[in-house]
Amino acid sequence: MNPNLPATYPRRILLAVTGLSPQIVTETLHALAIGNDTPFIPTEIHLITTAEGADRARLALLSDRLGWFHRLRRDYALPEIAFDVDHIHILRAPSGALMHDIRSPADNLVCADFITEKVRELSADPDAALHVSIAGGRKTMGFFLGYALSLFGRPQDRLSHVLVSEPFENTWDFFYPTPYENIIETSGKKLVDARDARLSLAEIPFVSLRHGLPTALLDGSARFEETVGAARAALGPAHLELDLRARSVRAAGREFRLPPAELAMLAVFARRAAAGGDALPAPNKEIPDPAWAQRYLNELRTIVGPMGDTSSAEHALRGGMDGSYFSSRLSKLRSRLQRELGPVAGPYLIEDGKRKPHRYRLGLPAEAITLVHSDASLS
Q: Give the Cβ contact number of residue 363 at 10 Å.
A: 15
Alpha-carbon separation of residue 300 from 14, 76, 266, 281, 369 (angstroms) = 51, 69, 10, 20, 19
Q: Are residues 69 and 198 in the same domain?
A: yes
Final residue in a domain of this structure, among 227, 252, 271: 227
338 falls within a domain: yes
Q: What proportion of the chain, given as a percentage, has pLDDT over 90? A: 58
Mean pLDDT to the nearest integer, 241-267: 91
User: What pLDDT is recorded for position 218?
Assistant: 67
Q: Tell me the C-alpha distance between 91 and 264, whole Å.
A: 44
Q: How many CA atoms lie within 13 A of 297 on its CB side?
A: 19
Alpha carbon 369 to its chain's center = 27
User: What pLDDT is recorded for position 238?
Assistant: 86
254 falls within a domain: yes
CATH number at residue 272: 1.10.10.10
Q: Is the pLDDT of residue 308 over 50?
A: yes
Q: Is the pLDDT of residue 375 over 70?
A: no
Please state the domain count of the chain: 2
Asked whether 353 and 279 are in contact (CB, 8 A), the reply is: yes
Asked whether 125 and 44 are in contact (CB, 8 A), the reply is: no
Which residues are within 8 A (CB) of 22 and not within 5 positions of it... i.e. 6 or more apart?
Answer: 53, 56, 57, 60, 61, 68, 136
Q: Are residues 196 and 245 in the same domain?
A: no
Q: Which of residues 363 and 373 earns the better pLDDT score?
A: 363
Q: Are residues 217 and 257 in the same domain?
A: no
CB neighbour class for 77 (10 Å; exposed up to 12, middle 13-18, buried from 19): exposed
Q: Is the pLDDT of residue 376 over 70?
A: no
What single DSSP character describes residue 59? I
What is the tens place of the pLDDT at every residue in 120-151?
Answer: 899 989 999 999 999 887 788 888 898 889 88
Provide the whole-model pTM: 0.65
233 falls within a domain: no
Final residue in a domain of this structure, among 168, 194, 227: 227
Q: Are residues 193 and 281 in the same domain?
A: no
What is the tens place of the pLDDT at every residue in 78-93?
Answer: 999 999 999 999 998 8
Residue 15 belongs to what domain range?
6-227
